[in-house]
Amino acid sequence: MALLGGAAVVWPLAAKAQQSEQMRRIGVLMSYLESDGEAQEQTKAFSQSLKEFGRTDGVNIRLDYRWPGSDADRLRADALELVRLAPDVLLAGATPAVIALKKETSSIPIVFANVADPVGQRFVATLAQPGANISGFGAFEFSIAGKWVEAIKEIVPSATQIAVIFNPETAPFYGLFLPFIETAARRAGIKTNVTPIHDPADIAGTIDKLAKESNGLIVLPGARFTAARRVIITTAAQLRLPAVYPYSYYARSGGLMSYGFDASDMYRRAASYVDRILRGAKPADLPVQQPTKFELVINFKTAKALGLEVPPTLLARADEVIE
């Protein structure tokens, strides 16, 4: 009886210790604020995908989230805090998060999602063989920028000049879009006005100035613009400036149209790499994967408000039309 009683005491303790050993820690650094609904959808896609691999937060994994937005100081502080927690793997949401985490660790595996030009930004050696502690899921084929010009020309056939805005701090890869924009613009007989916007407080005023000379607007991707997308969309609407955006959630939030990939899908797919790393895989052996599906979304309601007639050919190609 004494032996059995002793076993009864020891067994729960052993089971608890085993459960503790199985609990794996995942740090998540997002280049967005926690209040951003789209970013919440992205992390939701990530956690749901982890569940499909048998990994549930609070059961056998612990997810530690940090939401510094695109502020460089907060990114650095939160990256350091996550690294000090010694997680088994880190998820970096967009370029600013990768930059911050890369500075803090060269040993903890990092999986990124929605990052353009990871080779050019020196996050990985090559797409096929990343070569260090970082791999993940990229963003955009830069040639898509030519499609943005063509979309503006289709919906505004009389366009002679378009504005292109970008934020160099959160989108240092912006220059790779420009040759495709310039080539498509020349072919369409359109001049371009490429303008950086460093401070979000300058967004509305800059677009207002550009609208005086431009017939359309292209918004390049970047975490800071994503955070300020409502300002961009509202300002373009007030100025009756047709705009094309890089993500579908711009169009679903009232923007005229978007052409790009499903960002949430990249977070969903990132869970597969996190799972493989937790099973023993090395980031150096996991090739960087690029988006495979692109979607054209047209907000027909916004087009009507701007007095624009959407060509049937453009509507026919749309993956989604918002009435």
pLDDT of residue 259: 96
pLDDT band of residue 140 (cuts 50, 70, 90) is confident
pLDDT tens digits along 151-174: 999 999 999 999 999 999 988 999
Q: Could you say which DSSP state residue 140 is in? A: -
- How large is the average pLDDT for residues 206-220? 97
DSSP calls for 65-131 = EE--TT-HHHHHHHHHHHHHT--SEEEEESHHHHHHHHHH-SSS-EEEEEES-TTTTTS-S-SS---
As a whole number, mean pLDDT of residues 286-310 equals 94
Q: Which run of H or of E encompasses 166?
A: strand 161-166
The predicted pLDDT at position 6 comes to: 44
* Contact present, 85 and 64 (Cβ < 8 Å): yes
| CATH class of the structural domain 18-139+263-293 | alpha beta
Q: Tell me how many degrees the CA angle 127-133-139 measures, rounded to the nearest 5.
A: 40
Whether residue 15 is predicted with pLDDT greater than 50 in this model: the reply is no
Closest CA to 176 of 144, 203, 199, 198: 144
Question: For the residues 33-43, what does the mean pLDDT come to?
Answer: 95
The CA-atom distances, in angstroms, between 255 and each of 73, 234, 236, 252 are 31, 8, 8, 7
Tokens found for residue 229 = 């997308």
Q: Average per-residue pLDDT in the chain?
A: 92
The mean pLDDT of 37-56, rounded to a whole number, is 97
Where is pLDDT greater, at 160 or 9? 160
The pLDDT score that the predictor gives to residue 11 is: 42
State the pLDDT at residue 231: 97
Q: What integer is the mean pLDDT of 292-299?
A: 92
pLDDT for residue 10 is more than 70: no
pLDDT band at 22 (very low <50, low <70, confident <90, very high): confident
Percent of the chain with pLDDT over 90: 90
Residue 17 — very low, low, confident or very high, per pLDDT cuts 50/70/90? very low
User: What is the pLDDT, as a whole number, of residue 91?
Assistant: 98
Once rounded to an integer, what is the mean pLDDT over residues 197-224? 96
Q: What is the pLDDT of residue 163?
A: 98
- Alpha carbons 131 and 283: distance in angstroms, whole number: 8
Per-residue pLDDT at 293: 82
- Tell me whether strands 257-261 and 294-299 are parallel, antiparallel or unpaired: antiparallel
In words, the CATH class of domain 144-261+295-322 is: alpha beta
Rounded to an integer, the average pLDDT of 290-305 is 94
Q: Taking 80 as the threshold, does the pLDDT of residue 114 lie above it?
A: yes
Tokens matching residue 28: 């998540």
CA distance 141 to 291: 8
Q: Where in the chain is the domain with CATH 3.40.50.2300?
A: 18-139+263-293, 144-261+295-322
Contact 278, 127 (CB under 8 A): no
Please write the tens of the pLDDT for every residue from 86-107.
Answer: 999 999 999 999 999 999 999 9
Distances (CA, A) of 166 to 69, 83, 221, 269, 281: 17, 30, 7, 27, 37
Alpha-helix runs per DSSP H in the chain: 2-22, 37-52, 72-84, 95-104, 144-155, 178-188, 203-211, 223-227, 229-238, 248-252, 263-278, 300-305, 312-317
Q: Match 């890869």 to its residue by tokens.
A: 173
Instruction: Give CA–CA dist 141/108, Å, rounded.
Output: 28
Length of the chain: 323
Question: Per-residue pLDDT for 278 more than 50?
Answer: yes
